[in-house]
């Protein structure tokens, strides 16, 4: 349902049973809450008379849990509907709440007797939303355009709030008129193809180095519909875009204020309305051709996918090589879903050279292991497109039962399972932070995973194994052309780190201090970095 909502930019709906059905749904709802995905969950519940409310006990009804209290902190609206006559009102309120303002999940808990009641909806109360306060988009648009016109090195940092507002076409029209450098968040990675003349990268703590240079050297940055989490700002948020007049557009004022960053302009507004107001001003191209040229030069000079990553004589596949192959082969009618957390999500979102028309679903806020498999099914059903999922061998185990759904539906889904012999992110963290004292991250430390070929056979799914870089592109092409659903196991080199990335320095007292966002590891020579930052 979460992936369906992402694809349709509309409401996703999930029906779950009482008790464990509700608790099992919480992870997906938490992801939707963080990423502002509109989702309606309808859960079963014990009969009203069997509920424990007010009795001072832990459970009375069969499989009863206090679902409303559990999910209230991660939903925009949660209600246990105990009176059948209020169902039309509560349903209409929940749907409206999910889709308006800052979008997000809502939850209605429905006791068994309420589910079975007969009602006449036309004779019952209905929800009437109150008028929302109006933001002066016209004045804000004039102010923002004035900031951008007066800058020599302006840029836009675009996020998913633009898509949520249904304004991606207008955004593309706006940047063409302004001729301004554009960076995108991971949730907006599919707005612009890699070769777009205005696209200058995806910044962050695991990033395209040139994009971080743009962010840290610009003199005016319009943060448009992205909430700026710690993966975007780094762990010293006030140093984010330190030379710039910062302008932030977000429908939620709390997101703008959370870090105490100094902004020249705060705009708690719908990104779509503000973009349309800016277009109404008929903006002319900005005077920033020199900065755009410099940004494109950095993008070319500091690629994420290095030539050595493509070495076909190596014994195992480099994940950056696989990511490049996906970038080369996926196109207009493809949906890409990076599976969860760890390298499959980090490297894909950092390095994928996006082609025009490719759509990407992800859950970067929560990054839950197990997201990829159900998400690719939901995305394939919603879009009707060929769907490619990149998932870790560990993450696959968290929702492995959905392989039966994959087999039953037999959609055009290609599941690429990355075999790095365990939990790569945990391995690298323990290697770096705990001097190689490994626990539950690979076979030698107590983690084993089942043989994937046998799993595929049990679920009656075609299986392909890619072991060597020299066969990588040809095999991926073959798999993408196969009908129906396919599982492909890719044998990865587990020693390849995610890079460039923000590094921390350990102080003598054990505290960790982060490097600034322009100084990613592996570190450039100091004189080279100084030359980039001198202007």
CATH architecture under which domain 307-491 falls? 3-Layer(aba) Sandwich (3.40)
* Burial of 290 per CB tally in 10 Å (0-12, 13-18, 19+): exposed
Torsion sign, CA atoms 395, 399, 404, 407:
negative
Predicted local distance difference test score (pLDDT) of residue 519: 96
Backbone angles phi, psi at 507, to 5 degrees: -85, 165
pLDDT bracket for residue 514 (50, 70, 90):
confident
CB 41 within 8 A of CB 24: no
pLDDT bracket for residue 489 (50, 70, 90):
very high
Tokens of 499: 């890079």
Predicted local distance difference test score (pLDDT) of residue 133: 87
pLDDT bracket for residue 495 (50, 70, 90):
confident
CB 345 within 8 A of CB 339: yes
Q: How many angstroms separate the CA atoms of 471 and 452, rounded?
A: 20
Q: Is the pLDDT of residue 422 over 90?
A: no
**Domain 2-123: which topology?**
Rossmann fold (3.40.50)
- Residue range 349-365: mean pLDDT, rounded: 96
Cis preceding-peptide flag for 522 (omega within 30 of 0): yes
Mean confidence (pLDDT) of the chain: 96
Cα 412 to chain center, whole Å? 22
Q: How many angstroms separate the CA atoms of 90 and 95, rounded?
A: 9
Query: Rounded to whole angstroms, what are the CA distances from 442 to 279, 394, 406, 502?
Result: 54, 10, 28, 25
Helix (H, G, I), strand (E, B), or coil: what is residue 193? coil
Predicted local distance difference test score (pLDDT) of residue 253: 98
Instruction: Specify the higher pLDDT residue, 477 or 504.
Output: 477
Q: How many angstroms separate the CA atoms of 31 and 399, rounded?
A: 15
- Residue range 317-335: mean pLDDT, rounded: 97
Predicted local distance difference test score (pLDDT) of residue 276: 98
Helix (H, G, I), strand (E, B), or coil: what is residue 34? helix
pLDDT bracket for residue 428 (50, 70, 90):
confident
CA angle 300, 420, 305 (to 5 degrees): 5
Give the residue extent of every domain in the chain: 2-123, 137-301, 307-491, 504-533
| Per-residue H/E/C for 82-138 | CCHHHHHHHHHHHHHHHHCCCCCEEEEEEEHHHHCCCCCHHHCCCCCCCCCCCCCHH
pLDDT bracket for residue 241 (50, 70, 90):
very high
Tokens of 321: 């090589």
User: Could you tell me the strand order of the sheet in which 265-267 lies?
Assistant: 199-201, 182-184, 154-158, 220-224, 245-249, 265-267
pLDDT tens digits for 259-316? 999 999 999 999 999 999 999 999 999 999 999 999 999 999 999 999 999 999 999 9
CB 97 within 8 A of CB 106: yes
Are both 2-123 and 307-491 of the same fold? yes
Q: How many angstroms separate the CA atoms of 48 and 39, rounded?
A: 25
Tokens of 366: 């929560």
Q: How many angstroms separate the CA atoms of 95 and 464, rounded?
A: 43
Predicted local distance difference test score (pLDDT) of residue 146: 99
**Domain 137-301: which topology?**
Rossmann fold (3.40.50)
CB 39 within 8 A of CB 106: yes
């Amino acid at each position: 349902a979460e992936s369906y909502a992402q694809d349709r930019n509309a409401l996703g709906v999930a029906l779950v049973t009482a008790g464990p059905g509700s608790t099992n749904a919480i992870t997906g709802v938490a992801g939707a809450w963080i990423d502002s995905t509109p989702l309606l969950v309808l859960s079963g519940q014990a009969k009203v008379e069997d509920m424990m409310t007010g009795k001072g006990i832990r459970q009375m009804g069969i499989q009863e849990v206090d679902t409303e209290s559990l999910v209230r902190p991660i939903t925009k609206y949660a209600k246990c509907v105990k009176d059948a006559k209020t169902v039309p009102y509560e349903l209409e309120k929940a749907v409206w709440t999910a889709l308006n303002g800052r979008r997000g999940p809502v939850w209605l808990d429905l006791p068994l007797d309420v589910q079975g009641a007969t009602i006449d909806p036309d004779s019952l109360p209905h929800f009437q939303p109150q008028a929302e306060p109006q933001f002066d988009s016209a004045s804000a648009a004039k102010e923002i355009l004035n900031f951008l016109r007066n800058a020599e090195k302006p840029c836009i940092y675009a996020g998913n709030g633009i898509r949520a507002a249904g304004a991606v076409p207008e955004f593309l029209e706006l940047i063409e008129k302004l001729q301004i450098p554009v960076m995108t968040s991971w949730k907006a990675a599919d707005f612009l193809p890699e070769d777009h003349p205005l696209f200058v990268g995806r910044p962050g703590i695991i990033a395209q180095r040139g994009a971080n240079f743009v962010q840290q050297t610009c003199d005016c940055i319009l943060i448009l519909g992205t909430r700026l989490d710690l993966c975007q700002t780094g762990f010293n948020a006030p140093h984010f875009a330190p030379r710039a007049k910062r302008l932030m557009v977000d429908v939620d004022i709390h997101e703008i204020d959370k870090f105490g960053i100094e902004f020249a302009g705060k705009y708690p507004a719908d990104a779509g309305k503000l973009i349309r107001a800016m277009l109404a001003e008929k903006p002319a191209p900005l005077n920033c051709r020199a900065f755009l040229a410099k940004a494109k030069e950095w993008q070319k000079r500091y690629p994420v996918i290095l030539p050595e990553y493509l070495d076909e004589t190596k014994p195992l596949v480099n994940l950056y090589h696989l990511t490049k192959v996906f970038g080369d082969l996926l196109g207009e009618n493809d949906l890409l879903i990076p599976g969860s957390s760890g390298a499959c999500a980090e490297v894909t979102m950092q390095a994928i050279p996006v082609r025009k028309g490719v759509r990407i679903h992800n859950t970067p806020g929560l990054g839950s292991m197990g997201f990829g498999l159900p998400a690719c099914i939901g995305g394939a059903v919603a879009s009707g497109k060929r769907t490619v999922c990149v998932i870790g061998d560990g993450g696959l185990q968290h929702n492995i039962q959905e392989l039966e759904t994959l087999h039953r539906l037999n959609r055009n889904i290609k599941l690429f399972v990355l075999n790095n012999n365990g939990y790569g992110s945990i391995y690298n963290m323990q290697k770096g932070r705990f001097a190689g004292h490994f626990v539950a991250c690979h076979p030698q430390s107590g983690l084993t995973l089942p043989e994937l070929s046998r799993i595929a056979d049990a679920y009656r799914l075609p299986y392909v194994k890619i072991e060597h870089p020299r066969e990588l592109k040809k095999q991926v092409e073959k798999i993408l052309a196969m009908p129906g659903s396919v599982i492909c196991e890719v044998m990865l080199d587990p020693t390849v780190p995610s890079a460039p990335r923000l590094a921390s320095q350990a102080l003598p007292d054990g505290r960790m201090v982060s490097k600034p966002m322009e100084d990613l590891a592996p570190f450039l020579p100091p004189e080279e970095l100084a030359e980039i930052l001198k202007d």
